[in-house]
Amino acid sequence: MSYTLIFDMDGTLFQTDKILELALEETFDYLRLEGLWEKTAPVEEYRTIMGVPLQVVWETLLPDHPNDIRAKVNVIFLEILIENIRAGKGALYPNVEKVLDYLTTKSYSLFIASNGLPEYLAAIVDYYKLDRWIKETFSIQQIESQNKSDLVRTIIEKYDVEKGAVIGDRLSDIQAAKDNYLLAIGCNFDFAQQDELAQADEVIDDLTQLKDLVATLQL
């Protein structure tokens, strides 16, 4: 039986932190020019909610702004993120390619399930050629509920998944695994919260640990 491993993207495979601050600063520069923002860009506040859908991001960071402004800001932010990815300003986490290659040779089926938008995810997959190992990348935008548990269920149903794990850094990843009776592997990386990781079945500090973990666990 082929085991399935479903990866989160931001804060799990991709070091979003490397392009996040620059993109936020440029986005909020636009708001300042429009007279819609006076303070510094809320970088630290974004870090605490990293991994939620972008709609929730702008509802949180811009609670007093109308939806049309949030929509415009979202477009600007996404464009800047993609420009930075294509310019090579981002980075995968250490050993991502080595680990994905190893898992593929061991016949694991690999997928990505992310709260990121399709264009953003495609930019990362294309730049780093992740489709060498990843069978398919799924965005939260593909499902009406905007719920990661439902997104993971989409993968399970499409590919007849029976056993596997969800690997991610935030509670939505852990919950998605548990709601779908998969193993929850928490990544203690940049955006991880210790109270959330405490709910995972297993926690790793480096992706290389995944090689031994999946080999010894009965998923």
Q: How close are the terminal C-alpha atoms of the chain, in Å?
A: 11
- What does residue 5 show for φ and ψ, rounded to 5 degrees? -120, 120
pTM beyond 0.85: yes
HSE (side-chain half, CA atoms, 13 Å) at 107: 3
Task: Report the alpha-carbon distance of residue 180 to residue 162 in Å, rounded.
Answer: 10
Q: Are strands 164-168 and 4-7 parallel, antiparallel or unpaired?
A: parallel
Q: Which of 5, 14, 1 is nearest to 135 (CA)?
A: 5
Asked if residues 135 and 111 have their Cβ atoms less than 8 Å apart, the reply is: yes
Give pLDDT, residue 55. Answer: 82
Q: Tell me the pLDDT tens digit for each residue of 165-200.
A: 999 999 999 999 999 999 999 999 988 899 999 999
Domains and CATH numbers, the chain: 4-15+91-216 (3.40.50.1000), 17-86 (1.10.150)
Which run of H or E residues covers position 2? none
Given a cut of 70, the residues of the chain with pLDDT beneath it are 1, 218-219
HSE (side-chain half, CA atoms, 13 Å) at 95: 10
Give pLDDT, residue 1. Answer: 55
